[in-house]
Amino acid sequence: MLTLMPIITNLPNIFSGFSAEINFHPFIDWQLQRGSYLTESLLNISLFIPFGFLIQKTLRLKPLSAIMIGMIFSISIEVLQPLISTNRVGDISDVITNTVGTCIGILLYQLYKHK
Average pLDDT of the residues in 85-89: 80
Q: 90 φ, ψ to 5°?
A: -70, 145
Where do the domains of the chain lie?
Answer: 53-114
Cα separation, 99 vs 48, in Å, equals: 7
- pTM surpassing 0.85? no
Q: What is the pLDDT of residues 27-85, one digit of tens each?
A: 887 777 777 888 999 999 999 999 999 999 999 999 999 999 999 999 999 999 888 87
In angstroms, the CA 29 to CA 25 distance is 9
Cα(79)–Cα(37) distance, rounded to whole angstroms?
Answer: 20
